Amino acid sequence: MAKDMVYLVTGGCGYIGEHIVKILAKEDYIKEVRIFDVVEVDSIKSFSTDSTTVRLIKGDITDYNQLQKAMEGVDVVIHTAALVDYLDTLPFHKMEAINVGGTKNVLKACISMDVRYIVYTSSVAAVGPNSNYEPMLRGTEDTMYNGKTELSYGKTKACAENIIRQAKGTQTRNGKLLVTCAIRPSNIYGEKSVTVLESYLSAKSKNGLITCIEPKNVDHNYTYVGNVAWMHVLAARNLQLKPAILGGQVYYAYDDTPMRHRSDLYTALYSEIDPRMTETKHVPYWKMWLIVHIYSIIKFLVSPFCSLKPFVTPPVLKLIFTTFSYETDKAFRHFEYRPLFSWLESKRKTCEWLKQATENLQNNHKNHKQK
């Protein structure tokens, strides 16, 4: 494989993107990692090493000219930029413009600038659950699962994923052939996870009681963010080494996290910090259904005067109560993926960040009160 390569990570300041950049900067065959993002996080430049420069370019993937300029001299693109909305509250046209339109721009710019290799960050939401809320238990990338996805986010990710995968073999401006693949993460935890932090703070405020909506019989996947990032990096490397194998393929993201339920994962994490946090409260479906519908009515009544914070909608509530999981080793078989971080390491790193984040919030609160 070539040395002194230039990688571009769209959305490199985001949750997954930042972890990808951090790993790429340590790879000796990469001389430059460019981050293309609509936000600027200057601290990410500190990932630069003696051999690899991390460069931040502020830009919007809906602007083709900005993308094209950023791709000058680039060898590989890892496209993570997206508008994420699991609560299904954002306008579809806005999400489509970024998730689908932005992906089309990335592809068009790659063709124009002779960039052969594209790894796309898709999502398990691109597959399902569907609008009939049919479960999938421990499926694989080859499992047949039909029907329209329920979430607008899933619809846009499915469309973008198809665009990227079907682009395999397309000729670039100078006759090179595109090699593409997609990674589908599911529920991700780790450093800078907003949901993990918010749930922890909620449990602390309830004397260590962890509240979960999902019933115990629901089966979902949980993967550490560092391993999701590592799978992207390995896939990008092997697109160049094994284009005939990886080209046009899709891979579910996985590692050795043993938990298949959110309450089990949170208990394992939070009890490392506070041994009191071992008790979990499961809210029954009927109660959540009632809360959600009452909230929806209140939100509608006050909408002329104020906008309430987004909450779980009835369709999203049904999705939460639907088993949708996978079990696969395809990434290992195709490009020898193994988790970079073990479950114990993933837990340790998450807990260290969680403790620090909580302390920072407490200190900020104290300083604010003193003022």
> Does residue 251 contact residue 176 with C-beta atoms inside 8 Å?
no
Q: What are the tens digits of pLDDT across the range 12-26?
A: 999 999 999 999 999
Furthest C-alpha separation in the chain: 64
Query: Burial, 50: exposed, middle or buried (Cβ in 10 Å; 0-12, 13-18, 19+)?
Result: exposed
> At 332, is the pLDDT very low, low, confident or very high (cuts 50, 70, 90)?
very high
| Alpha-carbon span 239 to 267, nearest angstrom | 38
pLDDT tens digits for range 334-361: 999 999 999 999 999 999 999 999 988 8
Strand partners, 6: 32
pTM exceeds 0.85: yes
Chain segment 34-68, per-residue pLDDT in tens:
999 999 887 888 899 989 999 999 999 999 999 99
Q: Does 153 qualify as catalytic in the annotation? A: yes
What per-residue confidence (pLDDT) applies to 214?
Answer: 86
Does residue 310 register a pLDDT over 60?
yes
Q: Is 366's pLDDT higher than 80?
A: no
Phi, psi of 308 (to 5 degrees): -75, 155
363 contacts 246 by C-beta, under 8 angstroms: no
Residue 269 CA to residue 193 CA, distance in Å, equals 13
Decide: residue 91, CB within 10 A, 0-12 exposed, 13-18 middle, 19+ buried. exposed
Q: Is the peptide bond before 129 cis (omega within 30 degrees of 0)?
A: yes
Q: Which of 117, 153, 189, 222 is catalytic?
A: 153
Q: What is the mean pLDDT of the chain?
A: 92
Dihedral angle over CA of 208, 209, 213, 214, nearest 10: 80
What is the predicted pLDDT for the residue at 287? Answer: 86
